[in-house]
């Protein structure tokens, strides 16, 4: 780990859910946009959300990344950088002199 302390942005937040019902297309599938998914299938939507076909015609999406505030020690001096574990998310770092 570098001299900077990293505070990771969570990539999936189960507590923040956005449920959306898609039109039923029969046979245990979900039709989303121009694609058909089977019950249980998961997909991402442009680094914004991870979705899953939960039941015929019903899918659920959760945010891909959570917004995590910076630590109090560096509220005004933190830096936001790409999360090395998920290029869709960011992490906040404090300058090393505050560690």
- Segment 44-92, tens digit of pLDDT: 998 999 999 999 999 999 999 988 888 888 888 999 989 998 999 998 9
**Closest-CA residue to 53 (of 63, 65, 43, 45):** 43
**Residue 25 in tokens:** 């297309």
- Residue owning tokens 């089977």: 38
* DSSP SS3 for 86: strand
| Entry pTM | 0.59
């Amino acid at each position: 780990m570098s001299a900077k302390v990293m505070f990771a942005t969570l990539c999936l937040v189960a507590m923040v859910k956005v449920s959306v019902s898609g039109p039923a297309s029969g046979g245990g599938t979900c039709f989303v946009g121009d694609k058909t998914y089977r019950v249980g299938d998961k997909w991402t939507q442009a680094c914004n959300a991870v979705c899953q076909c939960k039941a015929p015609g019903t899918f659920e999406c959760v945010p891909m990344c959570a917004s995590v505030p910076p630590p109090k020690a560096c509220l005004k001096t933190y830096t936001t950088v790409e999360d090395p574990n998920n290029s869709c998310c960011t992490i906040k770092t404090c300058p090393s002199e505050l560690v």
